Structure 1
C-alpha cells in the first residue's frame, strides 16, 4: 500500500493541471473536502490541496498547449539528472528537464516509451504528500498502456520496481502490481493494465490514473455528478479490494475513487 515513508520509486506526489483552477477548487472541495493553499505569488499559481491541514495533492492552471486537463503522478528519485539519463537510455523521452522548485526539491517530467506522461520529485525541504490512504487522499495509481511488457521493463530500469501478477477478473490478461525495489509486497502502490482489456480506456487513451480513497463510493460518485463531474465507470465491487468508480472532473481530468473493503 502507499506510504509517506517515501523511498526510491514510490509515489510521493500527485498534481492537477486544469484550465480553470477556481472551478477545480470548488469541485474537489465539494467531492473530497479539500481546501486550496497557494504556494505564493512566485509560484505561478501553483498551490496545494489540503485536507485537515495536510497536503494531499498539488494543482495549478495549465493552458491547453501543456497537454490539457489531467492528473500527473510523481515518483521519488534520489537524483533527478541521473533519472533523466536513465529514462532516455530506457526508451523514454524528457518533456521537462530537471529543475529546482525553490528549496523544496527538484522535479522533471517524462514520457514513457508509449507516450504516457509521468514525473519525478527529488525531495528537498518538501518530502512529499503529507497523507495517503485515508478518505480523501491518494491510495493507488494505475497505468493503462498499449504495451505492458515494454513499459514494465522501462519502469523497472528507471526505478527498480518489483512486480507481481494476477489474472484480471475476465481472464483476458494479467494485472501487474508494482512496488519499490526491496520494499516487499506490502509496499505495492499501483498496477499496470493492458489497454486493450478495457474498451473505455482504449477509447480515451493511455495514462496514469490516480485513485483517491473514500468512505462511501456511491455517495462520492453522486456528489461528483452533482458538481458537474462525469461517471466513466459506475461503482463496481471487486472481491478482496472494495468498491470503485472511475470519474472525470468538469474539465475532463480523469481520476478514480476507491472504498476499500473493511476487515471483518
Structure 2
C-alpha cells in the first residue's frame, strides 16, 4: 500500500488485523502474521497495489504487477490466517476481462449480477483467484483480509478512528465489512474464510 503517512497507516491496520510491524529501510513498513508477509506500506499516493504470480515480471493496469517469485497468498498457498490477505477484487466501471485473462492466463465466469470470478489452472486444477465487480464506487484492486471475528474487528476500526464503510453483511464471498484507515487506504474484512476467496474456495 502506498499512502502519505505509512507509519500511521500500518499502525492502524496492525491494530485491526494483529500484524507484527517491522520498519524497513527508506521509511517503509511491513506487516507480518507469524512468518508470512501480509503487506508492505510505503510513502506515496497510489493506495493498494496487487502482485500476481506469473511468468515475466511486469507492470499491469490498475496499480498491479506480475512477479515471478514465490506466491505468498492465493489459491495454492496455505489457507489464510487471521490478518492475512485472503482475496482480491477489481472494482471498475469499465470491465476489461479480456485484458486480465490474456495477461494472466485466467478464465472468467459470470458468478452474480455484475460480478465475475476469475479462475486459473496455473498449478493444475482450476481455482478461483480473483473477482471483478462492475461498480461506480471507486476504481482499483480491493484487498480482502481474513479476520476471526468480524464484529470485534469493526469495533477496533472505530476505536482506532477508522471508518466502517460497509457494516457486516453476507455476500457470495462470505461475511464481510469494508473499512477505511483514518490516514488513507480501504480494504474488505472477510470472516473466517475457508480458503482463498472464502466461499469461492470450494
TM-score (norm 1): 0.65
Which residue pairs with 1:20 in the alignment?
Answer: 5
Secondary structure, counterpart of 1:71 in structure 2: coil
Query: What does 1:50-199 correspond to in 2, within 5 Å?
Result: 50-62=32-44, 68=45, 70-80=47-57, 108-111=58-61, 116-123=62-69, 127-129=70-72, 133-148=80-95, 151-168=96-113, 173=114, 175-182=115-122, 183-185=124-126, 187-195=127-135
Residue 128 of structure 1 and its aligned partner are, at CA, apart by 4.0
**Residues 82, 145 of structure 2: 8 Å contact kept:** yes
Whose radius of gyration is greater, 1 or 2? 1
The answer to whether 1:31 aligns with 2:3 is no
Taking the aligned partners of 1:132 and 1:210, their CA distance within structure 2 comes to 16
> Where does structure 2 lack aligned partners over 5 or more consecutive residues?
none
> Once the 2 structures are TM-superposed, how far is the Cα of residue 132 of structure 1 from its aligned partner?
5.5
Identify, as 1 or 2, the structure richer in helix.
Answer: 1
Who is 2:177 aligned against?
245
Residues in 2 aligned to 1:189 and 1:33: alpha-carbon distance in whole angstroms: 25
Match of 1:9 in 2: none
2:190 paired residue number: 258
Shift of 1:45: 2.7
The 2-side partners of 1:137 and 1:165 are apart by 27
How far, CA to CA, are the matches of 1:245 and 1:74 in structure 2? 23
Shift of 1:38: 3.3
| Inter-partner Cα distance in structure 2 for 1:109 and 1:61 | 19
Q: Distance in 1 between matches of 2:50 and 2:79?
A: 13
Kept in 2, the 8 Å contact 1:132–1:138? The answer is: no
CA distance in 1: counterparts of 2:79 and 2:47, whole angstroms: 20
Q: C-alpha displacement at 1:77, in angstroms?
A: 2.6
RMSD value, Cα: 2.3
Q: What runs of 5+ residues in structure 1 fail to find an aligned partner?
A: 1-15, 63-67, 81-107, 196-201
> C-alpha deviations, 1:26-70, integer Å up to 9, x for none?
21121011122234x3xx2334211123211212122xxxxx251
Paired residues in the alignment total: 190
